Structure 1
Amino acid sequence: MEPGLVIVAIFVALGIGLALGWLIWRGGAAEVPGLRQAVEAMRGERDTARLDLSAARAAADRLPAIEAALENARHRIAELAEANAGFVRGEEERAASHAAQLAQLKEMEAKVEDRFRHLAGQALTEAQSLLLKRADERFAEQGAKNEGQLRALLSPVEATLKRYEEGLQKVEAARVGSYGELKTAVAQLVAGNEVVRQETQRLTNVLRSSPKARGRWGEEQLRNILESAGLAENVDFSLQSTVSDGEKQLRPDCVINLPGDRCIVVDVKCPLVHFEQAYDEEDEGRRAALLLQHANALKAYANDLGRKAYWRQFDLSPDFVVMFVPGEHFLSAAAERAPELIDGAFRQGVIIASTINMLALAKVMAGMWRQEALAAQAQEVAEVGKELYRRLVTMGNHVHKLGRNLNLAASAYNDFVGSLDSQVMTQARRFEALKVDTGGKAIEALPMVDTAVRVSTKLLPTEASADAAE
């Protein structure tokens, strides 16, 4: 047993005994339960110490084998260290030899490289000289040849470039002339625009100051719309016609004629005063008030037209009159301020029409005239067809009569030929039997007609026509 372990065990047992004695002396009889607990704890520690002691003994039993293995390892390490020292010495010697050989190889390589460089330089110089000489000769020969070919190729290009240059000069001259003309035209356009602006301003001033001028302008607008729709003045419509209601003379601005002796009355209203004032007004409140006055003016015009009742003066006129406002903006501004304007006028027999609506209405009326013309043409075609049919019937009767007569003529001809052959030709041929001189001419036989006249299945005669033909 290891002496160290024995000493440890002795000290542990001695400590336990001293602890027990001290506890007994310290606590006395009154502390016996606590002493017992301490004794139990000491016993547990003793058991643990015994286990540790057993483990220590087992380790102590393996210690000689471990020491032997350690000794063997020490001998092996010493052998390896000696071998490594020898290897290191050999490696140093080999490294020195390799370095010497490497130095020799580098020296030889440098010499070979210098020699090769010298020889390569000489060969390259000679090759370059020979190549340059041959290249110069070849280039000189090819250059002369290419120069001729290039001149032949470039001669058309040169001619084309000359023509192009001449064309550019002509174009430049034309451009300069056109620019001058354009400049003149622009100046004329500016002057024309200024004239148009002045005339427009003059027209605006006239329309503002003269109600008669406004009415005349509205009539011109209406005439342009009607004529653009295909209607002709004094044919399809008339301006400033005069009618009477029994008490006074009425003069509508326009009466548009319709097929069937019907007509539509159109009156032109141009309320521009308040609209122009509103257009020039910058204050929004004042502008709204002026536009409302503009709407009220249109409403008053519509009410006045409704009271005049132009349609009563024409027998076949519809129960309404068209109030033409020559401008979409005039009507839209009024309708925006007075939404009931159009419906209220319609209830009084007045249809308010702007330029677009009037153009559509005029196109409808022009279409009615075209339909009327087509209907008249259709009636004329029907009359022509009826007359053609009557004449075809008459012609059919004559054709049938002609065919019947042709059949009768063929039958009479055949009878004549039969009679001629049986009664006359037999006697005539007796001259030939009697050897009478006939001048070498023989009597030819007459053919019979056996072709019947074709009867038309399309031109059949009517009974009345057939009787009349008979």
Structure 2
Amino acid sequence: MLAPDLVISLIVISTVFAGGVWTLQRQARNQISDLKQQLDESQLQVQQHQQALHQAQTQIQVDENTKQSLQQQVKDLHNTHQQNVAQIESLRNELSQAQGQLKHNEAVLTQSAKDAQKLIEKEHRIESLNQEISELKTALKQEQVEREKEQESLHEKLALLEQNKKQLSQEFENLSNKIFDEKYKQFNQTSKEGLSSLLNPFKDQLEGLRKKVDDVYVAESKDRASLKAQIGELHKLNRQITEEASALTRALKGEKKTQGNWGELVLETVLEKSGLRAGEEYVREKSINTEGDRYRPDVIINLPENKHIIVDAKVSLVAYTDYVNAETDDERQQHLKTHVQAVKAHIKALSEKPYDQLPGVNSPDFVFLFMPVEPAFMVAFQYDDSLFNEAFEKRIVVVTPTTLLASLRTVSNLWSIERQNKHAKQLAEQAGKVHDKLVGFVESMEKVGAQLTTVQKTYDTAWNQLKEGRGNLLSQAHKFKDLGVRSKKELPKHVMETAELEFSEDD
């Protein structure tokens, strides 16, 4: 508000000063005109005296004295005129200096106004940046809290899944032993009834297993709703296995190609229920060439950190079918032995494949051998207790639909944790970017502070030129008032008080 008033005051002062100069010039012209008139009158008097000289010689001396007196008056008037001209020239010089100083001060004030406007804009920008930083900090804090809650929930899910896996394995082992004992007794009693009569009790046992699994998981699902979908899918898989019992009957009596297709169908069903994504977390029947040989694992499971698990499905149920349909104990034992030998042959053949050395496959030291028929698995491992250790020594782990599904669910949870960790890493990178922005903001604030200091110095210099030092504008404006210049407005009192103190000191 001070700068426009000051400019107006300076304009008024300049106008008043110009009016004073014009007044002085007019007075000087009037005096010159009077002098000329007096000179004309003197000349007339000289002529009269000359005429009188001719007329009266006696008045020569008197006329001479009068002439000298008039000449002295002319000389005095001439000197006075010269002094007036010099004074007018001095006033013109002072006016020129005042106008130059006024232009300089106007330029300084204009620059100060521009700097002040820039300062206001920077302050607005600073407020906006502060608001953005505050919002980013709040969002970052909320995101961190959500990530921590998700991590805690995932850890709880993994612990619960591991506990349920152990419980399910124990329940399944107990039920499988019970089923095997009952089946063995039924085989002795109904060896002549055929495969169809065998599968009906097997279906009932599967329904009992499903009911038992339902009872175990229903209680857990009340407090852990997040696992309800996974448990439900496991129940659906068991029901689906039961519904496919009739298909198993046809596959057991069919050719090896039919058996293989049925085994791959069961494996595909387990993969679909595992929560893993085809082409992302697992790949089916990928062909790999190495040193002239070609390998095509049934499934390659992708793990975090570029690790892999290979799953190979093996279905050989001819001996198992003969074992089920055997009429005597001797035949049954012979077919069971043949079935166990077939399982061992599959284990040996799979162990000889260099899956852990295939290019692009970073496989652990074991491979999953998938047996889609759980009773066939239980009969073989019940007959030969060392079969599991023998397979493990050959880096083979024999799995069934139930155990493979539990393992694949664990892999799915690992991928969920990996994605959460990736999000946390991205969040950390975003926090780093916010920090870098904050550093840049602080540096900009330091530059703004330096510019504010420069603007303040420029403002102080311009203000001092206005009211301090000899010949300042306020002093010259005050002199105009002393000379009688009239103005409609007055300069601010607090400004003039400072100037008046300086005037009193000068006096």
Task: Please give the TM-score of this superposition, normalised by the length of structure 1.
Answer: 0.47
Query: Which gives a bigger RCO, structure 1 or 2 (Cα 8 Å, sep 6+)?
Result: 2
Which entry has the higher C-alpha Rg, 1 or 2?
1
TM-score of the two chains, using structure 2 as the length reference: 0.44
